[in-house]
Amino acid sequence: MSLPGYSQTDSFPHSWKGNWKGELFWYQGAGKEPKKVMMQLRIDKLDSNYTWQLIYGDNGSDVRPYKLLPVDTAKGHWRIDENNGIIIDMYWLAGRLSGAFTVGQATIVTSYRLEEDKLVAEFYNISAKPVSTTGQGTTESPTVNSYGLRSYQRAALHRVN
């Protein structure tokens, strides 16, 4: 069985270059209407890495000039450098660039993928502290921590050039 997009290692991130724009939907609770925020992602080739510039808001006032750095592309390992001492490890797996990190009391899981002519970005905000621990701590019933889902964000960005 061949799944589209799963063998794109030669085209990532080259085929993702460009300016992407769309609306981000931010879900923060059951039954609540999502907040809507304009989002842009600008990807361009630099010398040995890529720009990974995120821009939020109608007026583009929240600019995050990150870089996408190759670490071990044969193993799918990349990093997003936020240019402030924070570097997030990302992994190219199953046709998507994904990563997870913890800041303060939140773990953020990120994922970017091409879906037809859209670049889909998804972000999960998960409590870093378990909301419950169950199981008996045995082989048959190991200890399992469950975590609260605080919010979910999704944007389907279209290429604007």
- pLDDT digit string, tens, across residues 44-65: 999 989 999 999 998 888 999 9
Confidence of residue 1 (pLDDT cuts 50, 70, 90): very low
Tell me the one-letter amino acid at 153: Q
Tokens 């931010």 sit on residue: 26
Distance CA 134, CA 113 (A): 34
Domains, the chain, in order of start with CATH, read 9-159 (2.40.128.20)
Question: Two tokens at 44?
Answer: 């361009």
* Beta-bridge partner residues of 110: 99, 123
Distance CA 85, CA 107 (A): 18
Longest dimension (CA), the chain: 56
Q: How many helices (H) and strands (E) does the chain have?
A: 0, 10
- pLDDT digit string, tens, across residues 69-126: 999 999 999 999 999 999 999 999 999 999 999 999 999 999 999 999 999 999 999 9
Phi, psi (degrees; rounded to nearest 5) at 40: -130, 150
Average pLDDT, the chain: 93
Q: Tell the burial category of 122 from Cβ atoms under 10 Å away from its Cβ (0-12, 13-18, 19+).
A: middle
